[in-house]
Structure 1
Amino acid sequence: MSDQRLRTHSAVTPFVLDIRSLGRRAGSMAQVHRTVSVDRSIGLDLIAIPSDSDIDLDLRLEAVAEGVLVTGTVSGDTAGQCARCLEPLGGTVNVFLTELFAYPDSVTDQTTDADDIHRISDDQLDLEQAVIDAVGLDLPMVPLCRDDCRGLCPDCGVRLDNADPEHHHEKIDPRWAALQDLVTDGDPATDGDAAATDTGPDTSR
C-alpha cells in the first residue's frame, strides 16, 4: 500500500482534490491534512461555519474497486444565534466523513441516480457538497444558548432571563375588551354633574 499526499486545486474550490497520483489500484491510500477557507457559510440558517473562516480537513483517501473512499474528520468554529432569545452564540463542529466517490466507468456510476452518490470527474473529486451535507446534519436545527433558555417576552421582547422575576403584562380577555372601552370612554365627572343638576320634577306650580 502507498501513502501519499494530494493537492487541492484552489483556483476551482479549496475542496477539489487531484487524485491522479493515487492511482486506481485497490488499497492505494493518501492522506489529506489541511486547512481551507470558503467564501460562504456552511451550515444552517441559525448556526453555521461563517464565511472566510477556517475549516480543518483530516482525511484518508483509499482506492477501492468502485471508486475512492474518503473517511476522516471535518471541523471548524461555528457562529449563530439562540433560537429562543436571539443572543449570539458560538462553538465548534467536528464531524466524521465517510463518502464513496465513484469512478465514471464503474458499475456504481452506471446504476446509481445522479443525486445518490458523489462522482469522480477528470481525475478530481470535489468534497464541498459532502462537507456541506455532513456539517448541516450535525448542527442543531434549534440552537440554544442553554437548554433552559426562557426566550423573549412575547409582549415587549425583553429577554426573560434578564427580566425581573415578576415581569408580566396585564391582559384583558378579548371578550371583555369592548366593555372595557365603554367604561374608559365614559366621563364620571360629567355624569356626576348631570345627576347633581337633575333635582326631579318641578313642584313650584
Structure 2
Amino acid sequence: MAEDKIPLDTRNPWVIDTRELGRRAGLSRTVHRKVPVTTELGVPDVIVVPSGAEIELDLLLESVVEGVLVSGTAVAPTAGQCSRCLDPIEGQVEIELTELFAYPDSATEATTDEDEIARLVDDRIDLEPVVRDALVLALPQVPLCDEDCAGLCQECGGKWADLEPGHGHETIDPRWAALVERFDDSPASGPGREA
C-alpha cells in the first residue's frame, strides 16, 4: 500500500484525483490531509464545526470493480454552548466513513438514482458532501459541558453549580398572595402571639 501520492487539487482540497488507481480492482492508496472549513457546519448557537477550523482526513481509497471505495475517518473540532447552563464548550467530533464512488457506465451507476450513490467525475471524487453530511449528523443534538450539568435556576437564571447549597425561591400562589401579605403585616402574627 503506497502512501498519499495522489495529487492535491489546489483549487479544491476536497477533490481527489484517482487516475493513479486506474480501474484495476485491488489497487489502493492512503490519503492523509487537513482540509479547511470555509463555511461553519452544524447548528448555529448550539454546536458547530467553526469556519476556519481544519478537518483531518485519514482515508483509504481502494479500486473495486464498480468504482472507488473510500473508507477511514474524519476528525473536526467543535465549538458551541451547553444546552443546560449555556457555558461555552469545545471538543471534537470523529466519524467513520465508508462510501463507494461509482465509475461512469458501471452497473452500480446505471442501476441507482443520482442521489443514492456518489459518482466519479473525470476520475475525481469530491469528498466534501459526504464528509459534511456525516459530520453534521454526528454532532450531538443536546451538547453538554458535563453529563451531570444541573443547568440554570429557573427563577433567577443563576448557574446551579455556582449557587449556594439550599438555594431556592419562595413562590406563593397569586390567589393567596393578598391573604399572606395581610397576615404578615398584622400584629397578631407577631412574635408574642402563639398559634
Please say whether Structure 1 and Structure 2 have the same fold, judged by a TM-score greater than 0.5: yes
Sequence identity, in percent?
A: 50
Q: Is the CA contact (8 Å cut-off) linking 1:4 and 1:29 kept in structure 2?
A: no
Residue 152, structure 1, aligned to residue 149, structure 2: no
Which aligned pairs between 1:83-162 and structure 2 lie closer than 5 A? 83-162=83-162
1:89 partner letter: I
Taking a change above 3 Å as real, the CA distance of residues 140 and 21 of structure 1, as seen in their structure-2 partners, is: same
| Alignment partner, residue 53 of structure 2 | 53
Give per-residue Cα distances to partners, 1:6-52, cap 9 Å, x unaligned.
123242x3211122222111112122111110211234442232111
Task: Calculate the TM-score normalised by the size of structure 2.
Answer: 0.82
Q: Is the CA contact (8 Å cut-off) linking 1:43 and 1:132 kept in structure 2?
A: no
Q: Is the CA contact (8 Å cut-off) linking 2:151 and 2:160 kept in structure 1?
A: yes
- 2-side partners of 1:58 and 1:42: how far apart? 20
Task: Count the aligned residue pairs.
Answer: 183
Give the stretch that moved more between structures: 134-143 or 150-159.
134-143
Query: Radius of gyration: which is bigger?
Result: 1
Matched residue of 2:61: which SS?
strand
Unpaired segments of 5 or more residues in structure 2?
Answer: 187-195
- 1-side partners of 2:121 and 2:52: how far apart? 27
Taking a change above 3 Å as real, the CA distance of residues 163 and 43 of structure 1, as seen in their structure-2 partners, is: same
Q: Is the CA contact (8 Å cut-off) linking 2:3 and 2:31 kept in structure 1?
A: no
Unpaired segments of 5 or more residues in structure 1?
Answer: 190-205
| Alignment partner, residue 192 of structure 1 | none
Give the stretch that moved more between structures: 41-50 or 63-72.
41-50
- 1-side partners of 2:22 and 2:92: how far apart? 35
- 1-side partners of 2:93 and 2:163: how far apart? 32
Deviation, 1:163, is 1.0
Q: 2:177 aligns with which of 166, 176, 180?
A: 180
Q: Is the CA contact (8 Å cut-off) linking 2:150 and 2:160 kept in structure 1?
A: yes
Taking a change above 3 Å as real, the CA distance of residues 183 and 167 of structure 1, as seen in their structure-2 partners, is: closer
